[in-house]
């Protein structure tokens, strides 16, 4: 997903900023405290230079100054000079302590606001990503979502932080400017003589940095996705000796990221360089001009209210402090744009319409055995290419039905429609006559226990993996489900048995073991429909027979929907639907279909001829032997 592709749903700037603030609004008392503390910091900053200036201009001189701040400070001090010196030292120290304390408190509140607000952003984003349909997730790399969750989620706080910082900078700048003007208007105007240059550099670099930041963000997201995919296919690369080309692709992805970062860093370095050069020029002007004013008013042609050394000290200190707010304001656009871009990537996902969700008047439908109907069902992933074409079928509660047929004919897609991972283009799927789109999504999905082809495993214990769909299940129920799925024997043989930890994706199990755990997980669930997509593809003949036997035992207690290439596991099914090119071309029992002598009979003969001889028949007498592995399409 490129950032430009995110553009169509972007709203205006103000709305984006308001939305960003919404995540931090619950913590408004902390925001108010933060602003108050910033006020304290600014005040302390303004007063910091005064003890020294008063020491020079009022205490250590025969002609004390009479300005209101001088008078105010002196009122706090004892009348004798040593006492005044000590008093000024203590005031200076106190100002430092207050300044540092306020700074520390500000930082902690800043972290607090950032982390909690960003947690809210992430919670929203994660929830949304969980609700978005398979179509969304399949249309972009996983790394993209990971990047939005881990990095872009900080965008909203970035915006608020920059706005608070820049507002404070604006206030500070105003107060300082007023004080500087009261000291010496010509010197203050000299300070601002470089302002047009600052505005220009801000405009020039702000745009460039924004562009480069977007580019780099996207390339980084691509890199994350690339690494994730490359790690997933390490065994494939090793098996086909493609490590060098994988490495080459990785290097190219890293190179793209490095180049994009360097382009960004170059602009980021050029910008402060230009800005500091401009401000240094301003400082040089002020230093020369201010020095000359002191020389003129104190030595060349002394005047009572002229520039003093103490005033120049304050001027120089303020001038140094003036740079910071100027920098904040100068960087405002470039920084806020970067955070805005990140926040918009988050908002883009949050605004993505959920195509699969509860209808406004969705009705509850408690999980119970129900009649499943395919009512002239058509579906396709791409426009103009139907994967399922006008399917019509009815499966009664407690029946065991199978969908068989060549690879790529849409069997798995049909199962995905039952759980509403996608919605049909035409026709409907019905439970007891109710269109499943009119049923609450959670209720609908509670009807189905799904065993997918990839038998997904969590990095958790064996027992937790089996109980994923029913976390409160007792150990006895878990063990019973494992026994029914033919998994008990291998589980008990591994150290720690049901408490053994599985590695990521169940990599420390064989494919068949993973499949049996996935079946146990489905069996443990109380869903009235058991939906199995190629459940025996990784099982040995013994476990295949065991599973088939288990399914037959569950018949009548649950409705079983089976997608398989193994025709010997559908022999006892009440109904077998034979699919070809997205259509149901034959239907009936195993015997009826053999008698038809059509597609099913051909597949049956083909399976029998491909099966290597084995000494004994397994579960079903007369069944052809299984093939060693699932057909490769």
Ligand X SMILES: Nc1ncnc2c1ncn2[C@@H]1O[C@H](COP(=O)(O)OP(=O)(O)OP(=O)(O)O)[C@@H](O)[C@H]1O
Q: Which residues bind ligand X (CB under 6 A)?
A: 138, 381, 387, 407-413, 633
The residue among 609 and 633 lying less far from ligand X, judged by its C-beta, is 633
Q: Give the full edge-to-edge strand order of the sheet including 372-379.
A: 388-395, 372-379, 426-431, 434-435
Report how far apart the first and last C-alpha atoms of the chain are (Å, whole number).
29
Q: Give me the helices (H) in 6-80, please.
A: 13-22, 28-47, 50-54, 68-76
The residue among 437 and 566 lying less far from ligand X, judged by its C-beta, is 566
CA angle 335, 338, 340 (to 5 degrees): 105
Nearest-approach distance from CB 545 to ligand X, in angstroms = 22
Structure tokens at 606: 């083909």
Nearest-approach distance from CB 607 to ligand X, in angstroms = 14
Nearest-approach distance from CB 385 to ligand X, in angstroms = 8
Nearest-approach distance from CB 580 to ligand X, in angstroms = 10
Nearest-approach distance from CB 570 to ligand X, in angstroms = 14
| C-alpha span between 11 and 343 (Å, rounded) | 12
Nearest-approach distance from CB 407 to ligand X, in angstroms = 3
The residue among 152 and 607 lying less far from ligand X, judged by its C-beta, is 607
Structure tokens at 96: 């430092």
539 SS3 class? coil
Phi, psi of 216 (to 5 degrees): -65, -40
How would you classify residue 296: left for phi > 0, otherwise alpha for psi between -120 and 50, otherwise beta? alpha
């008093």: which residue's tokens?
87
The residue among 232 and 273 lying less far from ligand X, judged by its C-beta, is 232
The residue among 70 and 566 lying less far from ligand X, judged by its C-beta, is 566
The residue among 141 and 397 lying less far from ligand X, judged by its C-beta, is 141
| C-alpha span between 618 and 419 (Å, rounded) | 33
Nearest-approach distance from CB 410 to ligand X, in angstroms = 4
The residue among 268 and 426 lying less far from ligand X, judged by its C-beta, is 426
Sign, CA dihedral 394-396-397-401, equals negative
Structure tokens at 35: 């602003």
Structure tokens at 197: 């240059």
Nearest-approach distance from CB 382 to ligand X, in angstroms = 6
Nearest-approach distance from CB 205 to ligand X, in angstroms = 43
Residue 317 CA, chain-centre distance (Å), reads: 45
For 611, other C-beta atoms within 10 Å of its C-beta total: 15
The residue among 330 and 429 lying less far from ligand X, judged by its C-beta, is 429
Nearest-approach distance from CB 416 to ligand X, in angstroms = 7
511-524 helix and 541-554 helix, angle to the nearest 10 degrees: 10
């199978």: which residue's tokens?
402
129 membership: H or E segment, kind and range: helix 81-131
| C-alpha span between 391 and 378 (Å, rounded) | 7
The residue among 357 and 630 lying less far from ligand X, judged by its C-beta, is 630
For 424, other C-beta atoms within 10 Å of its C-beta total: 22
490 membership: H or E segment, kind and range: helix 488-493
The residue among 457 and 563 lying less far from ligand X, judged by its C-beta, is 563
The residue among 111 and 381 lying less far from ligand X, judged by its C-beta, is 381
Contact at 8 Å (CB) between 372 and 391? no
The residue among 211 and 583 lying less far from ligand X, judged by its C-beta, is 583
Nearest-approach distance from CB 599 to ligand X, in angstroms = 14
Nearest-approach distance from CB 136 to ligand X, in angstroms = 11
| Side-chain half-sphere exposure of 54, counting CA atoms within 13 A | 26
Contact at 8 Å (CB) between 604 and 567? yes
| C-alpha span between 146 and 150 (Å, rounded) | 6
């Amino acid at each position: 997903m490129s950032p430009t592709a995110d553009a169509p749903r972007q709203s205006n700037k103000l709305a984006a900023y308001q939305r960003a603030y919404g995540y931090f609004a619950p913590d408004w008392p902390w925001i108010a405290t933060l602003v108050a503390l910033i006020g304290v910091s600014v005040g302390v900053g303004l007063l910091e230079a005064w003890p020294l200036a008063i020491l020079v201009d009022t205490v250590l001189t025969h002609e004390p100054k009479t300005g209101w701040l001088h008078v105010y400070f002196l009122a706090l001090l004892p009348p004798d000079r040593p006492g005044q010196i000590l008093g000024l030292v203590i005031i200076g120290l106190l100002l430092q302590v207050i300044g540092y304390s306020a700074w520390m408190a500000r930082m902690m509140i800043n972290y607090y606001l950032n982390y909690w607000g960003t947690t809210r952003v992430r919670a929203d984003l994660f929830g949304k990503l969980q609700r978005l349909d398979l179509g969304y997730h399949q249309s972009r790399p996983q790394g993209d979502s990971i990047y939005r969750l881990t990095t872009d989620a900080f965008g909203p706080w970035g915006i608020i932080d920059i706005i608070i910082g820049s507002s404070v900078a604006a206030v500070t700048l105003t107060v300082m400017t007023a004080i500087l003007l009261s000291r010496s208007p010509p010197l203050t105007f000299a300070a601002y003589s470089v302002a047009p240059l600052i505005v220009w550099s801000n405009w020039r670099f702000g745009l460039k940095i924004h562009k480069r930041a977007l580019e780099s963000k996207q390339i980084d997201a691509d890199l994350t996705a690339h690494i994730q995919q490359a790690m997933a296919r390490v065994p494939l690369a090793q098996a086909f000796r493609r490590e060098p080309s994988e490495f080459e692709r990785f290097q190219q992805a890293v190179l793209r990221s490095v180049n994009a970062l360097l382009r960004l860093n170059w602009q980021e370095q050029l910008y402060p360089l230009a800005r500091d050069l401009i401000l240094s020029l301003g400082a040089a002007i002020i230093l020369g001009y201010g020095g000359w004013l002191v020389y003129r008013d104190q030595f060349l042609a002394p005047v009572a209210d002229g520039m003093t050394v103490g005033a120049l000290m304050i001027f120089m200190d303020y001038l140094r402090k003036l740079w910071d707010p100027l920098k904040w304001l100068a960087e405002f656009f470039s920084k806020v744009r970067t955070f805005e871009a990140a926040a918009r990537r988050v908002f883009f996902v949050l605004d993505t319409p959920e195509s699969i969700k509860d209808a406004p008047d969705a009705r509850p439908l408690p999980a119970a055995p129900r009649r499943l109907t395919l009512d002239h069902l058509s579906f396709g992933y791409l426009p103009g290419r139907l994967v399922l074409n006008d399917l019509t079928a009815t499966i009664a509660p407690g029946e065991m039905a199978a969908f068989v047929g060549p690879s790529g004919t849409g069997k798995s897609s049909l199962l995905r429609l039952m759980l509403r991972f996608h919605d049909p283009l035409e026709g409907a799927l019905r439970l007891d006559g109710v269109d499943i789109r009119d049923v609450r999504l959670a209720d609908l999905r509670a009807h189905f226990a799904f065993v997918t082809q990839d038998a997904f495993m969590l990095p958790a214990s064996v027992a937790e993996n089996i109980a994923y769909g029913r976390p409160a299940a007792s150990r006895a129920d878990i063990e019973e489900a494992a026994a029914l799925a033919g998994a008990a024997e291998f589980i008990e043989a591994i150290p720690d048995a049901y408490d053994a930890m599985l590695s990521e994706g169940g990599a420390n199990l064989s494919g068949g073991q993973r499949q049996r755990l996935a079946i146990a997980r489905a069996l443990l669930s109380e869903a009235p429909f058991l939906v199995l997509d190629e459940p025996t593809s990784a099982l040995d003949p013994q476990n295949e027979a065991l599973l088939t036997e288990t399914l037959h035992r569950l018949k009548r207690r649950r409705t079983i929907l089976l997608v398989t290439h193994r025709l010997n596991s559908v022999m006892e099914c009440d109904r077998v639907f034979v699919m070809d090119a997205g259509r149901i071309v034959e239907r009936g029992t195993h015997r009826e279909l053999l008698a038809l002598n059509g597609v099913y009979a051909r597949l049956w003969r083909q399976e029998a001829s491909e099966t290597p001889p084995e000494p004994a028949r397994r579960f079903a007498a007369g069944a052809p032997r299984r093939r060693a592995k699932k057909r490769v399409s």
